[in-house]
Amino acid sequence: RFTLFQAMLSTILTVAAALPAAWVFARFSFRGKRVLQAASLVPFVLPTLVVGSAFLALAGPRGILGVDLTGTLWLIVFAHVFYNYAIVVRGVSAFWERIDPRIEAAARTLGASPWKAFRSVTLPILRPAIASTSALVFLFSFTSFGVVLLLGDLRTTTIEVEIWRQTTAFLRLDIASTLAVLQLIGVGLILVVYGWLQRRTSVQFSHDVAEPPRARPGRERGIVASIVASMLVILGTPLAVLLGRSFTDPSGGFGLANYQNLFTLPTISAAFVDPMVAIRNSLVFALIAAGIGLLIGVLSAVAMTYAGRVTSRTLDLFIMLPLGTSAVTIGFGFLVALDWPVDLRTSVILIPIAHALVAIPFVVRITSPAIAAVQSDLREAAATLGANRWRTWWTVDARLVGAALVVAAAFAFAISMGEFGATTFIARPNTPTIPIAIFRLLGRPGPTPFGAAIALSTILAAITGLAMFLIDALGRRRIRSEL
């Protein structure tokens, strides 16, 4: 009951908080827009342990707010809003910017107020995109583990946490497996609904998306500024707390002691690894995982677009299963299954493969609407001029869906950087990643390891944010040059 209730409440509040920001990104240009778009993805790709630690520092027993909200529904829900905010913003704004603004302007010309024009014209067109992103937020909240584990208690526990507790604390594998089956049934139903809603967003729009104008001085600029400010508060407060705690040394002073402890303290290095090794491993694994995920994801999206209805829906449900399956289950399954015909269980390539498996559903969800929206007469025109199927896809489809490919690659890279659950099973002592290193530090008592974990979490957030910004900027430059 609590799993369903908190997922529903988290979804409602996330959509309500993120929808105004999606409108601003789709309809206006402003200074710092690209930076803010890239930064909005950082919470989503952070390890859940880091998100939980940030909210503990904000409203935990020693939080800066002075109020202990641990074990309450609201702290869990607020953490889910922070974590899933980017899904609604990026998903809805990408669809919204493809809608011709002259449609709503025509309603205004006929006497409709701004709210009535939005409610009667724009909202019906946006409804499939809002519904599909809401289903995705509900899915992530339904299967939430790290956030609920750190911020909840015995009264506020989800199916995912109870599976872990029954397995590790009570060794009740029968109860844990029953809960896992029930969870998979629920996830399957959610994925069926999500796939149906996602297909409804495959509407053919013009691909000539012009740069939106700046807000007009006065009331419009004030509304845009207030929405951007609210976005900064929602996303910036936990990250600011995380950053502030990283510069608060164990003695309570302010400085770089936590960062220095990553390299110097014997008590840290005895149970830790060289942070540069972890950072290097995470970057290499993320690049490989992004390549694998983009290749398989795009091929799957193309197959789903051109296959029959039954085949497309079956493939869609199969590809989406990793989204609803616990990452811990995926990692354990890799150890059990990948011993034949080639034993990959001791190979380092297993880590980016697992990361790619988690990222492929995102690649498919991002690229499939763009591929389906390519007008068929463009392909027919290319074929009439003598282009074969491969050349037609490369000169027509690949160029029109270039933006979606860049976003998909960015998502796959960022997800790999923050993946934790599956990596705990398949990573070896000599191949740690940044989340594994953070987990090792959080498992040690005392303020010094916790401070070092917060510092490394800040480094992970900085790397992810920078990577998202660079990929987004390079992708936009390439798309403009092609146009």
**244-248, 305-309, 327-331: least confident range:** 327-331
User: What pLDDT score was predicted for residue 417?
Assistant: 86
First to last CA, the chain: 51
Beta bridge partners of 254: 248
Is the pLDDT at 126 greater than 50? The verdict is yes
82, 53 Cβ separation under 8 angstroms: no
Token pair 């354990």 is found at 332
User: What pLDDT score was predicted for residue 207?
Assistant: 45
Residues 6 or more apart whose Cβ sits within 8 Å of residue 276: none
Letter string b/e over residues 396-427, b meaning 16 or more CB atoms within 10 A of that residue's CB: bbeebbbbbbbbbbbbbbbbbbbbbbbbbbbb
What does residue 265 show for φ and ψ, rounded to 5 degrees?
Answer: -65, 125
209, 26 Cβ separation under 8 angstroms: no
Is the pLDDT at 375 greater than 50? The verdict is yes
- Model confidence pLDDT, tens digit, residues 449-459: 778 888 888 88
235, 40 Cβ separation under 8 angstroms: yes
User: What pLDDT score was predicted for residue 119?
Assistant: 78
- Model confidence pLDDT, tens digit, residues 66-91: 788 888 888 999 999 998 998 898 88
What's the mean pLDDT in 434-443?
78
367, 297 Cβ separation under 8 angstroms: yes
* Percent of the chain topping pLDDT 70: 87
User: What pLDDT score was predicted for residue 201?
Assistant: 57
Q: Which tokens in the block code for residue 108?
A: 């205004």
Closest residue by Cα to residue 143 from 193, 185, 174, 175: 185
User: What pLDDT score was predicted for residue 168?
Assistant: 65
Distance CA 381, CA 396 (A): 10
User: For residue 157, is it left (φ>0), alpha (ψ between -120 and 50) or beta?
Assistant: beta
User: Measured at the alpha carbon of residue 439, what is the angle toward residues 293 and 412, in degrees to the nearest 5?
Assistant: 15
What is the maximum alpha-carbon separation in the chain? 74
Beta bridge partners of 29: 214
Number of CB atoms found within 10 A of residue 23's CB: 20
**77-81, 152-156, 187-191, 470-474: least confident range:** 470-474
Distance CA 439, CA 428 (A): 14
- In this prediction, residue 206 has a pLDDT band, given cuts at 50, 70 and 90, of very low
Of 168 and 180, more confident? 180
Check residue 175 and report its DSSP letter. Answer: H
* Percent of the chain topping pLDDT 90: 8
What's the mean pLDDT in 243-263?
81
Distance CA 44, CA 238 (A): 13
Amino acid code (one letter) for 271: A
- In this prediction, residue 332 has a pLDDT band, given cuts at 50, 70 and 90, of low
Entry pTM: 0.73
Q: Which tokens in the block code for residue 458?
A: 């800040």
78, 55 Cβ separation under 8 angstroms: yes
- In this prediction, residue 124 has a pLDDT band, given cuts at 50, 70 and 90, of confident
Distance CA 354, CA 293 (A): 10
User: What pLDDT score was predicted for residue 204?
Assistant: 47
**44-58, 69-83, 178-192, 318-332: least confident range:** 318-332
What's the mean pLDDT in 47-61?
79
